[in-house]
Structure formats: structure tokens, C-alpha cells
Structure 1
Amino acid sequence: MVQIPAVLACLSDTNSKLLTEVRKKGFPDLGEVSSRLASTLVDEPPVQIAEGGVVREGCHEGLDELRDAASGGREWVAGLQAREREATDIPSLKVSYNKAFGYYIEVTRPNLDKVPESYVRKQTLVNAERFITPDLKEWEAKILGADERAKTLEKEIFLNLREEVAEWVLPIQETARSIATLDVLCSFAEVSREQDYVRPTVDEGLRIEINGSRHPVVETLIPAGTFVANDVIVDGARDQILIITGPNMAGKSTILRQVGLVVLMAQVGCFVPAREAKIGIADRIFTRVGASDNLARGESTFLVEMNEAANILNNAGERSLVLLDEIGRGTSTFDGLSIAWAMTEYLHNSDVRPRTLFATHYHELTELEDLLPRVRNFSVAVRERGDDIVFLHTMIPGGCDHSYGIQVARLAGMPSSLIQGAKRVLQRLEQNDISLMQSTVRRSRKASIGQISLFESSGEVSRHAVLDTLSELDVDQITPVEALVKLQELKQEADLEE
């Protein structure tokens, strides 16, 4: 409160409408309560009032007298040790205090023959005896009595002060809100200046266009100037769903997060980390990012993921921004891919058309760009150098058909024998066509022979797979779109067998 006049002085010549309003309406006169607090309480009071030392010296005459009495008694006790050592010729004699016995004189066993008759034995220890004297107990009563009465009086003074201050609650709260507003604005201004943020344009449209977007936290954790900025455009009319593919560590999740943070920062009134930003107002930002479980409620990682995804699908609106990271990774590949595919279709075909960024390792989802008009493929670029890869962290148009998981595993320090084994398994997997539009392997789960192994060669697949798939097809449970997709798959499978 003492600093409020200085704060008002700083706001005296502002041209800001918001700051002018804060200065005029947000600082009631708290001079009286401020003076009362300053004259009663010490500058740095203890955490608990029971410890004492809360009320300033000179505030209450009676309290000062009790404190002087207690202080004088402690000085007498402090001098008693030196006096008794000299009188008894016992250099190791100590005067101490505990809550059980109060003040006492302790003498070690080798010196017990020097103890005066005026000492009264109080306690026997293994290596010492404890004694009291009439004078010591008299001063103890004075000290402890004064201390206790001082603390009681301090508490009474404090409670009375609290009642007085309670009458000032509303003006104090108003002042606190004004100070909080200034604190936030100063923080915005400081970080915007230091990190070269720009002023965004916020309108009532549905288009979000961010040129040179950056992550406000990540860029401060790496060497200055090394963060790779990216351009992002998303809207409900043309570029509604951005499917972002790319390898691990390339920066897909970072791009999702920075878009959400830029939108949020713009709408709370802060400059944003970008070269230019035009933000169509978002009423809500939905995120499905990261992986976690809820053991206390018996929820697996996948169930938590599905719960959050369901919340998004049931509540996202036209002005919502949806950020999805690796939907479906908590279950089998086929189940996860199916859910991710269907969820993308659902968001696209929804009447509200929420703006969506979807980072995924399911490269089959890139085929949706050819099927759904408002889906756009992007990938985070990498550069291959033999078996090595270099992450460029740049988002470019088009999909990515490699995750480079083995290369990333090698960068992480996996044993070389394991890496070679993984490459052999990958080669065998890639011999089978398991893409969403071309493979019938994943469609034959209900076959009596069971699911076909991914490690079988393509020649081992029955040449009658097309007929088998048709016989297993439940036409009553398939939609027209799914039927067209199935027909495309069967045609391609038949062509391959020929």
C-alpha cells in the first residue's frame, strides 16, 4: 500500500484508455488503513502470531513493559552462568532451559563435589546432574509470566486490528484487482519487447493465419535465433483440417501447441510470437495432447484418450480450435488407424466444421485429402544423409510416408544389433501392402483362420482373398462411403492377383 502513490504517479500521463480507467477508478484512498497497519505491525512479521513479535515496538505501552521485563530477565539469566562458574570454580557449568523443567543449572559428574548446598537437585542424568536455585526460579516466573502475558496481549491487539481492517475489504480488493491488471500488462509488455512479439489482428472471422509462428516457451530454452518459425492457415471454409505427418522429434506436437498458445495469447490481449497473426476469435481450444492414465479411477491411457476425444466431438463448435496429437496410438495399429480416420471424417462432415490440426504417424490418413475437400496435408521436413536424418522443423505442404522411427531410436543410443534387427523386421513388414486403401489383410479379422500375420510374405496370401473378403462383408452394417472404399480395395487386390 505504501507504494500505491508511486504507481499512480507512473500512470499520470498515460494515453491508454484501459490504464486511465484503472488509475481513476481502481485505486480508492487507503491512506488511513495503510497508516494503521504500518504503525501496528512490524515490517517482517513471523508466520504465526503465536510466536510473538508481530506488534511493532512503541505501539502499546503495556506490551512494551512486558517485553522489557522478559528481556531484563533473560539478561539476568545469561549473566548467571558466568557468575556461577566463577563462584563454584566449575568451568563446564551451564544454565539452560526446556519446557519440562524451565531454567536449570547443569553440572557434570566429575564436578559434583563442588556444588554449593544452596543448589536443589532437580534431575539426574547419566553424566550430569541438574539443579535449580530460589533466585533462578523467581526470575523464571518473571520471564515466563511476562512472555505469556505479552503474547496474549499481542494477539488481542492483532485481532482488534483485523476487525478494523475488515471494514476496508472492498476498497482493498479493488486496489488488488487494479494492481493485478497492471502486473499482467507489464508482464505482457516486457516479454513482448524482449522476445520480439507482434501485435495480432483479432476479428470475428473464422480464419486463423499465423506467419512465422513460434513457441513462446521452447524458443527461450534453446540458443537465440535457432527456433524454426512456421506459417499456419486454418479456417472452416477451405482449410478446415490440417493433417500433419512427420517423424518423431520433427516438431509436430510443438507446432500444435504453438498455434494454440498464439491464439490464446492474442485473445487475452498479449502480443504474440510471430511475424504476423490474424486470429478469428475462438470460443474454446480443445486439446488431445500427450499420454496419461488415471489409475485411481481405473482408466487406461487409451480410455483417457477416448474420453477426451469424445468430449471434443460432443462439444466443439464452429469457433472452436481443435488440436489432436496422435489419436489412436494407445491401441492396436488397425483399431487406432480406424478411429483416427473416422474421427477426421466426423469433424469434416460436422455441420459446425471446427478448425482442426491433427498430428499423426498414421500416414494412411493423408489419403483423406483426396476424399474430403477441406482436408489439407502437411508434413514436417527432414533431410536424409545415408542412415542419418536431419530435422529441419519446417512444415511444408504434402504428406510424409516415413516415420524414421529406427533412425530416431539409433539417435537415442539403442544398441546397434537391435537397430539392425529392427531394419530386418521393417523390410519384411514393407513387403506386405497394408495401406488403408490397398490392403485387405486388416479387413479379414473375422476369418476362421484368424488374423493374417504381418510377417507372412505376400505370396502366402490366398489368391481368393477378394472372395473371402466379400463373403465376410456385412452389407447391413456398412455405409455407402465405406462401400465405395471397400470396392476400391477389392479392385486393387484383384489387379494385384492378376
Structure 2
Amino acid sequence: MTDGPTPAMRQYYSVKTRYPDAILFFRMGDFYETFGEDAGVVARELDITLTARGKDKNGDRMPLAGVPHHAADGYIARLVGKGYKVVICDQIEDPKTAKGVVKRDVTRVITPGTLIDSSMLGSAGARYLMAVAPDRKETYGLAFLDVSTGEFFVSAGRDYADIVSEAVRYRPSEVIVPESLPDALPDRLETVGVTVSRYRDDAFDTDAACERLCRQFGTATLDGYGCAGLSGAIAAAGAALRYAQETQQSPLSHITGLSTRIPTGNMVLDAITLRNLELTAGIRGEGDGSTLLAALDVTETSMGSRTMRSFLVAPLVRKAAIEARLDAVGWFVGHSIERQALRAALGEFADIERIAGRIAYGNAGPRDLFTLRESLEAIPDVKTLFAGDVPALVREALDAMDDHARVVDLVGRAIVDDPPALAKSGGMIREGFNANLDELRHLATTGKDWIVEFQQQERERTGIKSLKVAYNRVFGYFIEVTRPNLHLVPPEYERRQTTANGERYTIPDLREKEAMIATAEERLSALEAEIYAELVRTLAEEVPPLQATARAVGLLDVYAALAEVAARYGYSRPVIEENGRVVIRDGRHPVVERHLPVPFVPNDTDLDSSGDQIMIITGANMAGKSTYMRAVALCCIMAQMGSFVPARHATVGIVDRVFTRVGAFDDLASGQSTFMVEMLELANILNNATAQSLVILDEIGRGTSTLDGCAIARSVVEFLHGKASAGPRTLFATHFHDLIDLEGSQKRVKNFHFAVRDTGEDVVFLRKIIPGATDRSYGVHVAHLAGVPKKVTDRAIELLKEASTRETPAGPRAPRYTQMLLVDSGERAVAENPAVGELRSLNPDEMTPIEALNALCRLRKMANGERCDR
């Protein structure tokens, strides 16, 4: 007959049944143990030893892997970082007083989206739990909750693409969806690297969710939070809150409200655009150094870093709001002394927002409180930096920063100057804060002094120089004598234990003092823990104002950081207009220019939804077309987030949405080819772009045959141009040179290309965009630069010459191209435009202003091949 499981293992199986999808950390003595399949996962993921002990339910050897309880946080963080859910089952009674098996129960469930411990968070960035709830209107409600800070907001999505875009925008650590939701959406979310957890359907009930949220916020309705009528968003928010409360085993009192962020209130940046423009993540995963966020985020605090990211992924669309942010940034640009002083002060600030969250949760450590006090003590000095008039947003932030004198005083009186990181270590309460604690501390200290004196006394009395008075949990205090000295032991010594090296003894005086010291130390430890817990509970009342201060600090940090970047790199304040123009003078790419070994070549842009709406950009490979187009988009995004821009001047007519289609990516997981992905992305653009949108299209139609691709590209340009008086501002880069004819047939289409210098033997890319078209892409030259064998490139040149000969008509043909070729060799004759000869004949010194203006108009007509009457 096979023996059944031990009482402890019966406890284990009981808990594991409740959490079958999680890794169970089961406390046994000084270790957290994992068993069975969990042990295999833990051993593999953490690279620790897998052993076996006893037998499982089937009578097989039970796999076992454990980690020390004092180091468990690091191991748990690694597992959660890989997407696992971890359940902590602790001993909930003292093993010394337990009768039979020690009682154990779940004290916490840790998931990727519900981390709150500072040792596990790992970075200053927001760590969102996202919830998705289907709405009655065939749309979806979305909620985002950062348990570590209490940030909580809702949004909405029309379809799967919107939901994925929001996931890419906010990068949640975990998404919860109803159990009954079809697999299609979770599968899409997992493809962008999100951990998806299914949660019971009843948690997404709208009425129950509304009741839970109102109870959490202490309100009778949610109307004041801007989500009235958004049943899906309310359901998602209620589910997120319930999930967080259940996993944390806490009411999470620091979550005191939520906001509504419907995408129509901000510039829409879908998942494709976020990827292509590398706003927050590199397009090929090469790290964050290549992103716009990395280029702008020179904030000094964790609160500021999170705020910077929220500004970047959700640019504004209201002119007044944008101007208010630009006013704040502009003030810091013009007040460098105040800016530097503020940044120096903020550099010493702790993460007030997350410390407030840990206070509310009840797991704030003594060092958290100490650093919180130091940060709050600096706030009055920060405020004194701002004398006189300041912009409205700066004043609002300063007014929201409370001095928190009560918190500073309480923590200053309670916590020692060099506290331990963890409360369980003890020694964190300052002397003089509690009289009873001081008395016990004195008693414990004097008792230890008595032990030292007693040891010396016994050595002298017995003549045993190596005699020691020691302590352990089992025997308490004892006298230890080595074997060579046993003959000197006095008769009144009472033997307690024999060891390999000698004997252990006690005497009545030692037993009496032991009881006093042990009692004092136990009472001291218990009282200090009680005092500290009460201190944290008292501070929990201050969490809402602490959160308000943290948000204000984050805003000031961002305004100053954007000003710092503007001052360092020569950015200018953009002019914001409510029209269809985008005018940029000497615009630069804010990321690329930082990584070039040579100066970045700036370029101009003139776009107007009702004027020069579409720029068809032709020219050589590697000439800079993609960089140029991305730079225009980034300038618009930066302007609307409230940042200065990398240009000598920029006028930005408010953009409601940025669309991009660049590069070639397969979606093999869903069986979609490069061309299918291109067409899906193109369909999204054509179906959703408005006259206020900015569209970036790079090489449309290149994924299929030349004939089909050229036809698609031409029809796309015609569609975007349309018959209306305005259309989306569009940058269209192509190697289909037949498209340049559209400038003549579509009045809002203009041709541009990037200039090159062709020596006849080599090509130099000048990176400068100029009006007109080109008929050469220099693909063979780029192949040579890439290291393609010379035999291949030489043969390609021969084939190009043959094709050019076949395509050359017998009779004369009017020139179609106006490419700037700066030819160093005199071997090639270049037809001169009549405007050049006319320009040579002019003498500006002898012309009146009106004559010069007329001449300029005449030259422009001649350059464009138009009829010109003198």
C-alpha cells in the first residue's frame, strides 16, 4: 500500500488546485519550494538545480526546486518578467507555537501587470495592466491600470487594429480578457509581445464593475470621470481593478480615480506608425537608443520619464492646449538658470509616486520613507526658484506641489538616518519616538552587556580561557567548553548538550537572565514592527496629495527636459495653426542627426492640404528619402506633444493622425506575405485618412510585378488627391518614375528629388531635396557599396545600357526630368534649361524691386516649361 501525501503536501495540492495556471512558491522553513511541473519550469527558467524528493500522487519521484525565502524577490521578478504568474503561499502562523502542521495560505499573486515591489519593478517606466471588454455596440472598452503608481484610465477601440495600436502605444505588461472571448484578439495581442491572461466573465459585467469602481472612489456615479455611457470601458476598468485587488490581496486604496482618454482627443498613432517612426521602440529591436523617446527623455525623475512617454504617444490636437505646453517649455528655454537649478534639485528626488503606492499597499520599506522625506524636504526650495510671472501650466504644477510638512515631520521623528531596506530587519525606529520601545531596547542592550560581562567573569573563575557564552534558537543561551578543558568545569554547571568538540552547560543565573533578554528582544521586535505598521497606516492617509505632488513634479521635469533638449540641439518653437499647412525650414531628423559622424543636411518642406498636397519624391537609393519623410512626421508629432522641433522654423497645421507605410515586413505567423501586409496597411490608410492627416508612403507597389505595382501606386496618388479641394498631406517616395507625369494632371501634386553628384565613375549623395524629378535610382551603385561582387555589378551595368538603348525612341523627345546632376566630368553634355540662359542675362544691380519680382515669376514659368510672354 502506497503512503498518502504528507499534511504539508496536502496543503500544497489544495492551493495548487485553486491556481493551476500559476507557479506556486510554497514556503517550507527558510525556502520557497516548487514541485512537479512548476519545479521543472523554475529550474529551466532560473537555471537552478532540479532535484527530487518523496513521491507525487502517482507514486513517482516528485521533482523539486527551491529558492531561499530572503532572496525570493529576485527570482520571482525574473519569472514574472518572462510572462509567468507566481502565487506566494506563506506560513501564516509561528512554527514555534503551531500544533501539528504549520498553517499556510496564499498571501499574494504576482502577475506581469500587477507588480508593486520596488525590487521587482526594474525600471522607472509605467507598468500597465490592460483590460479589454467587448461593448454592446460591437466596439471594445479598454482600461489601463498601473498598480505601482495608482494611474488609472480608460479608452476605447473600434476593432482589433485599434486595440493592438493602444497596446503598442502604452506597452502593457499584461492584458486580461474575458474567458469567453474568441482566440483571435488574444493571438493578435501576443504577436506584439504582450502577456495575455484570461479572467472570469462575471468580472466584466458592467453593472458590477460600476458598483465596484464607485465603491473604490467613494462616489455615487462615474459621470465625473468622463466615462458615462462607455459601458465597455467601465466593464474593463472594473475587471482591471478586481483583478489587481485579488492578486494583491489588498483594497489598493491609492487607486482613487480614473480618467478617460478617448483617442479622438489626441493625435492617433496606430501600431504601424509607432513601429515605423520608432517613437518608443526600435523597429528591429536594437534597443531604445534609436528612438525618439530616447532622444527627448533627459528627465531627472522617474515621474518625469513616465510623463514624457505619455506626452509622446498621445500628442494633442487642440491648439490652446498645445500652445500652453509650448509656453511652459519656452519659459524654461529662456530661463536657463532656473532650468538648471530645477534639474539639479529634481535629480535628488525619489519616485514619490511609487513610494505612495507602496505606502497604500502596506509594503513600503523604511528606506522608502527616508528617501520620501528627503524628497519632500526639497519642495520648498524648488518653489523658491520661480519668482514672478510664470506660464499657466508651470504655475498649476507649482500649486499642486504640497510641502507635506506633516509627512516630513512624522517620518523625520520616526525613522533613523540610515534605515534598513526592509522593516523585518528591525532597527528602523528612531530613539525617542516611542518610550516603551526605548525601554525595551535599553533592556535588551543591557542584557547583552551582562552576557559579555558574565563570559569574562566565568573565564576568570574557572580558568577556562576559551569558555564562550553563545546562543541558538533551540537551546537559548549556553556555556560552551571544549573537550581539553572539561576537567576544569565546576560541579554547579548543568550539562545541556554534547557536541563533537565538547559540552554545553547552563547555570541558574544564566537561565534567569536568558529569559529576561529573550523576552525583551522578542517584545522589542514585535513592538517595533507594530509601531512601523501603524506609521505606514498613518501615512496612507496622505497618499492622494502625495500622488498629486508626484504628478506635478513629473510635469515640471518634462517641461524642463524638453527645454534642455531644445537648448542643446538648437530646436525652435513651432507655430501651431488650425489649417492644412506644414512648412519646415532646415528640418532635421532628431534621432539620426545624433548618430551621424558628419553634420546632418537639413531640408525644407512645404505641404498644404489645399495647395501642394502631395510630394512625389524620386531619386537614388540611399539618398535620404526615408529619413526625410520620417523627419517631417516626427517634427509634427513633437510640435503637437508640446516640444520644440529640430528646424530653423516650423509651421504645423494640426495633424489629426499620422499614417505610415514604409519598409517590408512579412507576417508569416498569420500566413501573410510582404505584399499582403503592404496592401492591408495601405487599405487602412486609404479608408481612414482625412484632410487633416499626414500620410507617409514609401515604395508602394514594390512587392508585386512592375506593371501591377506602378498601376497601384498611380491609383493611390489619384485617390489621395481626389476631386475635393483638399486632401491628406502626403509624402510619396517611389522608384516608379512614370508617376512624375501626375504633376501635370493633378494640380496638388509636386515632384521632388534628392540631388546627387555624378562624376561618371562615382556618385555622391548630397542629401538635399529639390524640386523636380529624376529618372535614375543608382541601384547598381548601392549594390557596389554593399559589397556585391564586381562581376555582378558590371553585368548589371551592361544590362542597364542594353535596356536603355532598347527604350530610346528614334525621334527627338522632350525632356521629362529636371534632376540636379552636378557633373564633374566634361564628357557628358547636359541640356541647359532656357531659364538658365535668361538668368545669366539679368543684372540685379540695375533692377527695381518690381522688375526683379517680375523676372523671378518669368524664370519660374520658363523652368516649368510654361508659356512665358515678356
Structure having greater relative contact order (Cα 8 Å, sep ≥ 6): 1
- Note the alpha carbon deviations across 1:123-142, whole angstroms, 9 max, x for none: x9xxxx89977799999999
The alpha carbon displacement at 1:350 in A equals 6.8
The residue number in structure 2 matching 1:253 is 626
In 2, the alpha carbon distance for the partners of 1:36 and 1:378 equals 67
The residue number in structure 2 matching 1:10 is 385
The residue number in structure 1 matching 2:775 is 401
The alpha carbon displacement at 1:286 in A equals 2.0
The alpha carbon displacement at 1:392 in A equals 1.1
The residue number in structure 2 matching 1:427 is 798
The residue type paired with residue 794 of structure 2 is K
CA contact (8 A) 1:203 1:279 kept: yes
Equivalent positions of 1:95-114 (< 5 A) are none
In 2, the alpha carbon distance for the partners of 1:269 and 1:181 equals 12
- 1:265 correspondence with 2:599: no
The residue number in structure 2 matching 1:108 is none
The residue number in structure 2 matching 1:349 is 722
The alpha carbon displacement at 1:358 in A equals 2.0
In 1, the alpha carbon distance for the partners of 2:572 and 2:432 equals 54
In 1, the alpha carbon distance for the partners of 2:511 and 2:731 equals 79
The residue number in structure 2 matching 1:316 is 689
- 1:207 correspondence with 2:581: yes
- Note the alpha carbon deviations across 1:54-99, whole angstroms, 9 max, x for none: 5555544555667778889999999999999x97989xx9x999x9
In 2, the alpha carbon distance for the partners of 1:102 and 1:399 equals 92
CA contact (8 A) 1:103 1:132 kept: no
Q: Provide TM-score, normalisation by structure 1.
A: 0.67
The alpha carbon displacement at 1:266 in A equals 1.8
In 1, the alpha carbon distance for the partners of 2:666 and 2:444 equals 59
The alpha carbon displacement at 1:403 in A equals 2.5
CA contact (8 A) 1:88 1:115 kept: no
Question: Which stretch shifts more, 374-383 or 355-364?
Answer: 355-364
CA contact (8 A) 2:379 2:403 kept: no
The residue type paired with residue 398 of structure 1 is G
The residue type paired with residue 698 of structure 2 is D
- Note the alpha carbon deviations across 1:229-273, whole angstroms, 9 max, x for none: 100011112211112223333221211121112112222322221
The residue type paired with residue 393 of structure 2 is L
- Note the alpha carbon deviations across 1:287-324, whole angstroms, 9 max, x for none: 23344445555555444443333222222111111122
2:413 to 21, 32, 39: 39
The residue type paired with residue 3 of structure 1 is A
In 2, the alpha carbon distance for the partners of 1:29 and 1:221 equals 42
The residue type paired with residue 322 of structure 1 is V
In 1, the alpha carbon distance for the partners of 2:624 and 2:667 equals 27
In 2, the alpha carbon distance for the partners of 1:191 and 1:291 equals 33
CA contact (8 A) 1:281 1:319 kept: yes
The residue number in structure 2 matching 1:382 is 756
The alpha carbon displacement at 1:203 in A equals 1.2
The alpha carbon displacement at 1:177 in A equals 2.5
The residue number in structure 2 matching 1:20 is 395
The alpha carbon displacement at 1:390 in A equals 1.7
Cα 1:56–1:387, aligned 2, differ >3 Å: closer, same or farther?
farther
In 2, the alpha carbon distance for the partners of 1:6 and 1:245 equals 56
2:564 to 180, 184, 190: 190
CA contact (8 A) 1:11 1:19 kept: no
In 1, the alpha carbon distance for the partners of 2:751 and 2:503 equals 88
In 2, the alpha carbon distance for the partners of 1:143 and 1:381 equals 87
The alpha carbon displacement at 1:210 in A equals 0.5
Question: Which stretch shifts more, 41-50 or 382-391?
Answer: 41-50
Question: Which stretch shifts more, 159-168 or 201-210?
Answer: 159-168
In 2, the alpha carbon distance for the partners of 1:238 and 1:388 equals 38
CA contact (8 A) 1:382 1:391 kept: yes
- 1:289 correspondence with 2:628: no
- 1:244 correspondence with 2:613: no
The alpha carbon displacement at 1:26 in A equals 2.0
- Note the alpha carbon deviations across 1:159-205, whole angstroms, 9 max, x for none: 43333233223322322232222111111222222222222211112
- 1:366 correspondence with 2:740: yes
Q: Secondary structure at the match of 2:606?
A: strand
In 2, the alpha carbon distance for the partners of 1:73 and 1:302 equals 81
In 1, the alpha carbon distance for the partners of 2:652 and 2:596 equals 27
Question: Which stretch shifts more, 351-360 or 302-311?
Answer: 302-311
The alpha carbon displacement at 1:404 in A equals 2.2
The residue number in structure 1 matching 2:547 is 173
1:411 to 781, 785, 798: 785
Q: Provide TM-score, normalisation by structure 2.
A: 0.41
Q: Secondary structure at the match of 1:242?
A: strand
CA contact (8 A) 1:88 1:114 kept: no
Give structure 2 stretches of 5+ with no counterpart: 1-375, 490-494, 810-870
Cα 1:32–1:407, aligned 2, differ >3 Å: closer, same or farther?
same
The alpha carbon displacement at 1:211 in A equals 0.7
In 2, the alpha carbon distance for the partners of 1:142 and 1:297 equals 72
The residue number in structure 2 matching 1:227 is 600
Q: Which has the larger radius of gyration?
A: 1
In 2, the alpha carbon distance for the partners of 1:407 and 1:140 equals 89
In 1, the alpha carbon distance for the partners of 2:678 and 2:512 equals 72
Cα 1:214–1:88, aligned 2, differ >3 Å: closer, same or farther?
same
In 2, the alpha carbon distance for the partners of 1:155 and 1:203 equals 60
Cα 1:324–1:138, aligned 2, differ >3 Å: closer, same or farther?
farther
Give structure 1 stretches of 5+ with no counterpart: 106-111, 439-498
CA contact (8 A) 2:478 2:506 kept: no
The alpha carbon displacement at 1:367 in A equals 3.3
The residue type paired with residue 395 of structure 1 is I
The residue type paired with residue 791 of structure 2 is Q
In 2, the alpha carbon distance for the partners of 1:279 and 1:346 equals 24
In 1, the alpha carbon distance for the partners of 2:514 and 2:676 equals 67
Q: Secondary structure at the match of 1:198?
A: coil
Q: Secondary structure at the match of 1:10?
A: coil
In 1, the alpha carbon distance for the partners of 2:593 and 2:774 equals 25
The alpha carbon displacement at 1:47 in A equals 5.6
RMSD (CA atoms): 4.6
The alpha carbon displacement at 1:38 in A equals 3.5
In 2, the alpha carbon distance for the partners of 1:31 and 1:250 equals 60
In 1, the alpha carbon distance for the partners of 2:776 and 2:543 equals 62
The alpha carbon displacement at 1:213 in A equals 0.7
In 1, the alpha carbon distance for the partners of 2:573 and 2:771 equals 27
The residue type paired with residue 172 of structure 1 is L
Q: Secondary structure at the match of 2:792?
A: helix
Cα 1:12–1:317, aligned 2, differ >3 Å: closer, same or farther?
same
In 2, the alpha carbon distance for the partners of 1:154 and 1:430 equals 89
CA contact (8 A) 2:377 2:403 kept: no
Question: Which stretch shifts more, 59-68 or 394-403?
Answer: 59-68
CA contact (8 A) 1:104 1:130 kept: no
Q: Secondary structure at the match of 2:401?
A: coil
Cα 1:197–1:61, aligned 2, differ >3 Å: closer, same or farther?
same
The residue number in structure 1 matching 2:653 is 280
The alpha carbon displacement at 1:379 in A equals 1.5
